[in-house]
Amino acid sequence: MTVSQALVLEELLEGKGYAKKPGGLLAGLEGKLRLASELPSRSEPRTPLPTGAASLDSLLEGGLPKGKLVELVGRRSSGRFSIGIAALATQTSRGEAAALVDLGGNLDPSIAEAAGVDLQCLLWARPQKLKDALASAEMLLATGFPLVVLDLGLPPVRGERYAPDAAWVRLARAAQTQGAALLVSSPFRMSGIAAEVVLSAGSGGVRWQGGGESLRLLIGVSARLRLEKDSHSRPGASVAEPLVVIEAVGAGLVPAPTIPIDQVAIRLSA
């Protein structure tokens, strides 16, 4: 990232009410130092961030754990992107900011708005490579977004199939430092040891309306969610989460703010 690109991003985020960190994006080690008093106490329980998916919230004992990386793994039509949208809708409908790093390029702003996402509270980044997506998510967490959803799309993942473990660990630490919820939606396991919780999503069935001589209308699907890893509970539990098919009607909808990736991504250090 060049100096001019870093300044553009700092000014944009500062204009949206996010405090400029000491040293900004241009500082070296001193810009990354924090006082011990600023770090969250491990003894203080954090209220989970609800996703809006009741079954998932029950499985996670209230929602996405703050300060942790949660990875949701699923193939095509598993419902994992819809679950990410539900989490964004729940967060932004309360007037809280959220960010979507959309490596898969799956977001349709009109459908997201119909699903309840307040586009005025959503920052939408569209990187083209995996390393840029990780760097963007790390930057957004450091800026202070309380919820960041990183969607890696469908295979083949853009850019690279895998990222170094160190990049995932650094991303998880960024969430921990800020006390933010981080949901990674991936087509296969990618975060390695960095994930506090790992869930798998599979198709659980479809729901139709109508029958007989009338046309049948698809009104919803269900995702089967299974807890694969959780450092605080025993894995293996599973639930079915109903997902509603949304028909977006209307034109002239205001798109979510978008930042070109060359203004967002920072180079991952070796």
pLDDT digits (tens, 9 = 90+) for 43-68: 455 689 999 888 888 888 899 999 99
pLDDT for the residue numbered 224: 74
Q: How far are the Cα atoms of 81, 130, 224, 247, 253 from residue 219, in angstroms, in the given order? A: 17, 34, 17, 10, 23
| pLDDT value, residue 174 | 96
Give the sheet arrangement for strand 197-209, strand by strand: 238-244, 217-230, 197-209, 69-74, 181-186, 147-151, 98-102, 122-125, 258-259
Question: pLDDT-derived band of residue 102, with 50, 70 and 90 as boundaries?
Answer: very high
Predicted pLDDT at 178: 95
Lowest mean pLDDT among 86-100, 121-135, 178-192, 215-229: 215-229
Q: Taking a C-beta distance cutoff of 8 angstroms, is the pair 89, 107 a contact?
A: no
Rounded to an integer, the average pLDDT of 127-131 is 92
pLDDT 10s digits, 110-122: 989 988 999 999 9
Q: According to the model, what pLDDT value does residue 266 have?
A: 34
| pLDDT of 252 over the 90 cut | no
How much is the pLDDT for 17? Answer: 64
Compute the mean pLDDT over every residue in the chain, rounded to the nearest whole number. 76
Rounded percentage of the chain residues whose pLDDT exceeds 70: 61
Copy the structure tokens of residue 45.
């329980």
- The more confidently predicted of residues 257 and 205 is 205
Residue 19 pLDDT exceeds 70: no
Residue 257: its pLDDT value, please?
47
Mean pLDDT of 148-160: 86
For residue 163, the 8-state DSSP code is: -
Q: Which H or E run includes 74?
A: strand 69-74
Token readout for 149 is 């959803």
pLDDT tens digits, 194-229: 999 998 887 666 666 676 666 776 656 666 788 888
At the topology level, CATH places domain 3-16+49-212+225-263 in Rossmann fold (3.40.50)
pLDDT of residue 268: 31
Could you tell me the residue ranges of all domains in the chain? 3-16+49-212+225-263
Grade residue 24 by pLDDT with cuts at 50, 70 and 90: very low
* Both structure tokens of 76: 């095509």
pLDDT of residue 5: 55
Task: Summarize the confidence of residues 71-95 as an average pLDDT.
Answer: 90
